Chain A
Amino acid sequence: MNGKENTQVQPPSSRRDFLRTTGVATAAASLVSAESVLHEVRAASGGPHYGMVVDLRRCFGCHACSAACKAEYRVPLGKWNSWVNSRETGQFPKAARTFLPVLCNHCENPPCVTACPTEPKATFVAADGTVQLTDERCIGCARCERACPYKVRWMLAVPPDPKLDRFKDQVARKCTFCVHRLADGLVPACVNTCNARARIFGDLKDPQSEISQLLAANKAAVLLPDKDTQPKVFYLGLPPDLDYQPTNGGDYARDLASAA
């Protein structure tokens, strides 16, 4: 599950200038000009720059993605790389329910990378834009887990390693966009199984890719835009009044079961 060894693209501080978000993002509207993101990333290295679109108009909350991700990574019970929230609004008989799949946003400006104290970094942005992990460098301090505003990171207990000093015998884990599948030319497990075809994955730099076409043709939004993380998971149909309170694993387990 570790990321491939790749050089980091840019140190975090310069990314703030690197990515301007034009035509943006009042707190209420929480929209991102996808074109601006596309324009900037095209300027970077020659390979693909991966992102994902989640089309909430299609998602029907089936949790195939939640289960596929558990299976793909053998995520332990109690932890989640990807999950689906659901939210009810309205009053009978005009009640409504919407679904919100959440996963690592593979941010352009990732606070987890900023927080990682090791040198070279145990977590970093790879050349393809994905945020990856390296167990050999991880000291188990969990700063990245706390730094992530989306709560997509968690710590996996590991046996003590006589060759590696760790603050605690654990390493960071999260969605890697199925980096092991990307290497084989396969899409991430969640994308592969999504029955609604609500997850679209691909190269943001390629204007012909489906993801680029969708972003060009639709207004997309991101989660927690005020955190300035520059996510690369874009949502179509995100409710504008969404007050997203992140928690790892979301609220499904609790949504229907009033007890915690």
Chain B
Amino acid sequence: MAKTQMDRRNFLRLGAASGALVVAHTRPHMLTEAAGQEQFGADRWKRAVGDRHSLTRRDLKAVPSSCLQCVAICGIIGYVGDGRLVKIEGNPRSPNNRGMICARGQSGVNQVYDPDRVLYPLKRVGARGEGKWKRISWDEALDEIAAKIKDCLDRGHPEEFMLHCGRNRCKWIQEPFCNALDTHTVGDHTSICEAGKWTAQELTWGKHYDINDVANTNYLLNFGCNVLEAHTSHSYFSQRVIEALARGVKLVTFDVRLSNTAAKSSEWVPIKPGTDLAVILAMGHVIIQRDDLIDHDFLETWTTTTVAELKEHLAQYTPEWAERISGVPAADLRRIALEFATHKPSTVLSYRGLVAHENGAMGERAAKMLDALVGNIDVPGGTCLNVTGKWGTPPDFTIPGSHKKLNILDGEGLAYPTHHCSHKVFEQIRKGAGGRPKVYMLYVHNPLYVNGDCQANIDTMKDESLLPYIVALDIALSESAQLADLVLPDATYLERYDPEAPQSYQLIPFVQIRQPVVKPLGEARAAQDVWMELARRLGKGDLFPFKTSEEYLRLACANTDGLKEAGGFDLLAKEGIFVQSDQPKYRKYAKDLGALAEFLTANAGAVHDEATGVVWNPAKNAANKTGKYGDHKDDYKSYLGQVRNGRVHAGFVPDKVPKSGLFELKSHLLERKGLPALPSWQPIPEHQSMGPDDLHLTSFKVNVHTQSRTQNCKWLTEMFHDNPAWLNPATAAKYGIKDGDEVVLTSKSDGTKGRTLKTKVHLTEGVHPQVIAISHHLGHWAYGRYASGKEAFPEVEGEPPWWKTFGVRPNWLIPNKPDPISGQWSQNDTVVSLQRA
């Protein structure tokens, strides 16, 4: 044994006897084909990994496409035999997921062959919610909807047609469709997701997403992100985290419970909910005092503040102060801060544990501040601005955007609801001051289930005086679709076309196809095609230079840089993925566009706004009356560059708000609204008045489900169909509660005060003693036999579930409270009291 180790020592880099992980390069699977063959020789490479890069299994047809079981949009290959989808696997050509997919991706087959899937248009008979339907033809359905929409158009109120989208990957047709009808009353769901994270980034560095360059990093500092179970880029981000751990990179996770990410971390630091912001500010306090560790040049020349100003501002946020608030020991806080600052490049991970709080947007700004302090911004191994592929569009296809909308999308009194406030839409409809939709169309959205305060929303949807006509485009008779007047069978993601350009974790731009792996089952039709048909019936067909999604995609491919030269649609349909450049893009903000004088000469209409340093084209925004950049909200659309030291740079390109091209660590936009300009502590008001026995109710995701829409996937729900509340045994002991006992939680939060929820508990040492945590995937009361135990179509036979529990829904107790900056749903703020049942 020893001899063998000696022989292999150089090759395998065994490291310490403590069980250091075998380093990545011994694993042929982790290498690209070229690198693997080079390192191992073609023969050994093939033996080691098998013919895993083969795109065909001999007896099946391989169809590359894009997963949509979450928004990581992994490259997949569907294997089809006799028109039946047999298996889904990862596409080895994807620079992101590299041939691997997660449990949800594997279970996409269940979406197609779900016995409770809606396959025919259904029209309500009886009262809303009675559950009585009659099957009608598509023609009848489309005639009816078109007539209802036409009524809005004829009355001069197109904005009374509202489209409310949940999982929407087809903006390429959804936006033109709504623009063609001149309605801008388009809702989304982002505020219940991570609106706070995106808005915070828009206020700070520009367009989301943030990409943690894990492959090249030396330290991972995590606030409330559970990447190993869920994330916008879950699968390929988690792959790289494991690789990083394997090469000895430290991962420190702050979380209120032991998520699987915390479990694999080098350190799990438990923390009180809503106090991550305090810890981050205190880490900033520690780091800013170390002139030898901070990136002076970046802070002084690329941000809107100075080192001196930061030192002064952060002085108040001592580690001892943060310990009192968060429970995190000051010594640990100091140590971790210095580890983060001395293992550069490092990167801060953040998600809903940080963001889904009333101070969440502020938290995300603070997280970006930490990265900025040590020079991690958009560098290899740091926290990078997003890189995606760039799609062309069909030539001569522009439909002017509509400005007509009901004033119900953005909540009330929010500073910068750049991603709307969708969980407040029903409240706005109830109030009425912003108008009410006459036609309310849901697209893959289940508002009754996914928002807080479920009962109020159920009552709203049932009320025909508030919502006279409801259409749902969905594959399931979801809780919300059940209350519709018309349900249209949508195609699953495996049965339709979309152009995709996922966020790229190798920071190289690539485009990806979504194409039908199988034909839609029954009479299902892709919403993309339904909208085009509706547009035609409403006399807007001429605005679209294509009749089908496939036609659109062919035209788009023919207009996409690199792809058009390489083989266009045919190439993309065959390979699934096209990489537009193999050069990773870092320091995008620093791209030099020339000396200022020359830039102004070369760009007609360009003006240098001396106050902000922005170069922009004021003529493009007639609504700006002062001529000063930033005085009108749409000024960012005319942004051209940022001046620094007499030269124009690409800068931190603003998106959605008129930020300058600098990294606005100090936000003038927040200052304008009377909010703290620099990341500052904001205590959560209701947490300051908690009783000694009150608990924080938080929620979380698990690795086999995605939000609300995978619970009809039998292979996934088989693995997770019950969600007892996580409770610390020491806390449970105070009440004499044992594992599996039933408890009653009573909300003490405004908006749901007094509401109760009965649930079982799961005692675990992996949760903060002041927290009770309930996963929010479960608690369906519809959606089908696997999700709720109730068949949507009892006459349809399917493999029966063996499980008898379907979980509880914490949302009944969670008020729809928004973060005042972004409108983010603060779903982890709720305070509850606990009694034995």
Contact = CB atoms under 8 A, between A and B. Distances in A.
Interface string A95-127: 111100000000000000000000000000000
Given A209-B48, A213-B8, A64 B102 contact: yes
Contact of A184 (B51, B769, B800): B51
A217 B22 contact: yes
A202 B802 CA distance: 36
Contact of B762 (A66, A78, A201, A258): A258
Interface string B37-48: 000000010011
B743 interface: no
B101 interface: yes
Interface string A209-222: 11001101110000
A213 B107 CA distance: 33
A93 B106 contact: no
A167 to B, nearest CB: 24
A174 to B, nearest CB: 18
B541 interface: no
Interface stretch (A7-15, A53-61, A157-165): A53-61
A64 B228 contact: no
Interface in A204-241: 206, 208-210, 213-214, 216-218, 237
A1 interface: no
Contacts of A244: none
Given A184-B51, A208-B44, A217-B5, A63 B270 contact: no
A62 interface: yes
Interface in A47-98: 55, 57-58, 60-64, 66-68, 70-72, 76-78, 88, 90-93, 95-98
A184 B258 contact: no
B264 to A, nearest CB: 5
A124 B235 CA distance: 37
Interface in B787-837: 799-803, 805
B730 interface: yes
B238 A195 contact: yes
B740 A258 contact: yes
Contact of B27 (A23, A181, A200): A200
Contacts of B676: none
A18 interface: no
A258 to B, nearest CB: 4
Contacts of B229: 62
Contacts of A206: 47
Interface in B40-86: 44, 47-52, 54, 57-58
A93 B271 CA distance: 10
A239 B792 CA distance: 45
B719 A60 contact: no
Nearest to B741: A258
Interface stretch (A128-136, A139-147, A148-156, A186-194): A186-194
Nearest to A199: B29
Contacts of A200: 27, 29
Contacts of A71: 87-88, 106-107, 109, 715
B722 interface: yes
Chain A contact patch, size range:
35 or more
A79 to B, nearest CB: 10
A117 B616 CA distance: 84
Contact of B28 (A210, A216, A252, A253): A210
B89 interface: yes
A4 to B, nearest CB: 15
B760 interface: yes
A194 B97 CA distance: 11
Contact of B12 (A91, A196, A217): A217
Contacts of A196: 238-239, 242
B760 A95 contact: no
B466 interface: no
Nearest to A206: B47
A193 B79 CA distance: 15
Contacts of A43: none
A92 B766 contact: yes
Contact of A253 (B48, B718, B800): B718
Contacts of A57: 19, 21, 246
A202 B48 contact: yes
A256 B720 contact: yes
Contacts of B47: 202-203, 206, 208-209
A198 B87 CA distance: 21
Given A67-B715, A88-B764, A186-B52, A78 B769 contact: no
A154 B356 CA distance: 44
Interface string B251-288: 00000001011011000111000000000000000000
A203 B767 CA distance: 43
A256 B766 contact: no
Contact of A193 (B51, B106, B719, B722): B106
B723 interface: yes
Contact of A195 (B44, B49, B89, B242): B242
Given A213-B8, A216-B4, A60 B766 contact: no
B30 interface: yes
A95 B54 contact: no
A62 B724 contact: no
B721 A257 contact: yes
A204 B593 CA distance: 58
B799 A35 contact: no
A33 interface: yes
Contact of B103 (A63, A184, A203, A258): A63
A27 interface: no
A63 B719 contact: yes
Given A76-B799, A259-B805, A195 B264 contact: no
17 contacts: A35-B4, A58-B245, A60-B228, A67-B715, A70-B107, A88-B765, A88-B766, A92-B270, A92-B765, A97-B260, A181-B57, A195-B238, A198-B242, A200-B27, A206-B47, A213-B26, A256-B722
Closest 4 A/B residue pairs (Cβ): A257-B722, A258-B740, A67-B106, A97-B263
Interface of A: 23, 33, 35, 55, 57-58, 60-64, 66-68, 70-72, 76-78, 88, 90-93, 95-98, 181, 184-187, 189, 192-198, 200-203, 206, 208-210, 213-214, 216-218, 237, 252-253, 256-259
